[in-house]
Amino acid sequence: MRKVLTAIILFFVMSMSYAQSVQEEYIKKYCQIAVEEMSRTGVPASITLAQGILESGSGTSQLSIKGNNHFGIKCHSGWTGGKMYADDDAKNECFRMYHNASESFRDHSDFLRNNQRYASLFQLDQKDYKGWATGLKKAGYATSPTYATRLIEIIERYDLAQYDSGTFVPAVVLSNESTAVANGQETVGAAKPTRYYTSNGFELSMTEYSLGTNNNTQYIVLKYDMDIEVLSRKLGMAPWQLPKYNDLPKKCKVKAGDIIYLKPKRSKAEKKYTEHVVTSGETMRDISQKYAVKINRLYKMNGWEQGVQPVEGSKVRLR
């Protein structure tokens, strides 16, 4: 009898260990995408990962295996992508199919962000995973009465809240052959990291921004709008650095396509740029960013008072 009991206990222990290892592998595999989606849309990475674990059985469900659908999102009206059918609340229901898991994660974020029934969730603190879990259940994301509780349990069991911090540290792995666009021309030799890591050690791809140099000053160009405070955390920089280096308010939103310098700008432009002819609507900050020259140095070189803006057609000394 003891042998049978021991075998049963061993079986359950091994089963639990296997289930946990599957979930841990799922987290390791998709945490990068979850953090990227959090930056893009504001959906907490912890919520995305917990929902993925719960809805897809950590990537073992038929929906996720056959259709790359990790969140159980049904077709709904207007869906024009691939479809597959499975029993859920009713028999033979229509579910969305995706080409890959990344597409599923992105659609999940957009599904929440663009659906009015979930609008109140985006008023919550990004780190309030309990509020998000409760709000998802209340908004009708799932019919299970324990849905919110199960999400919270998963988040706390695997410490998924750590991924909501969005703190990034640049890796030192650089490519010497990369190029960047500066002053409207291609600049050869600009350094570009091949990967980034968070303080928690997982890898992040370069899907959010590109990196380059201008006037021997390193900069990034965002691919999505982002709060400057969030960007500072992602780059592992103090909150005052980016605003100071780029002549920006401490609280503002950086627009996609903007050049954001990661180091102080120079005292004068490169030798090939001696002066700049002002175009319509151009400000001193625009010129400062274009040539990576400190704005106070531009004012001093041109003998102008701080705050004065140049007139269209006038010339601004750069050296």
pLDDT at position 30 over 60: yes
Query: Whose CA is closest to 225, among 262, 193, 196, 252?
Result: 252
Q: Which pair of structure tokens corresponds to residue 289?
A: 């960013």
**Residue 285 is which amino acid?**
R
Q: Using the predicted structure, report yes or no on whether residue 82 has a pLDDT greater than 60.
A: yes
What's the confidence (pLDDT) of residue 181? 31
Q: What is the mean pLDDT of residues 131-147?
A: 93
Residues paired with residue 316 on neighbouring β-strands, in sequence order = 276
Q: Is 312 helix (H, G, I), strand (E, B) or coil?
A: coil
Separation CA 237–CA 216 (nearest Å) = 20
Lowest mean pLDDT: which of 145-159, 168-182, 225-239? 168-182
Q: Phi then psi for 200, rounded to 5 degrees?
A: -85, -5
Residue 265 pLDDT: 95
> What's the pLDDT band for 222 if we cut at 50, 70, 90?
confident
Residues 6+ apart with CB under 8 A from 94: 74, 75, 83, 84, 85
Helices (H), the chain: 2-41, 45-56, 62-67, 101-113, 129-139, 147-157, 228-234, 241-246, 284-291, 295-302
First-residue to last-residue Cα distance in the chain = 90
Mean pLDDT, residues 230-240 = 79
The residue ranking higher by pLDDT, 280 or 201, is 280
Q: Are 205 and 193 in contact (CB under 8 A)?
A: no
pLDDT of residue 17: 44
Query: pTM of the full predicted structure?
Result: 0.52
Query: Please, are residues 241 and 212 in contact by the beta-carbon 8 Å criterion?
Result: no
User: Which pLDDT score is estimated for 20?
Assistant: 62
Confidence (pLDDT) at 210:
75
| Domains in the chain, CATH or no CATH each | 24-164 (1.10.530.10), 168-261 (no CATH), 275-317 (3.10.350)
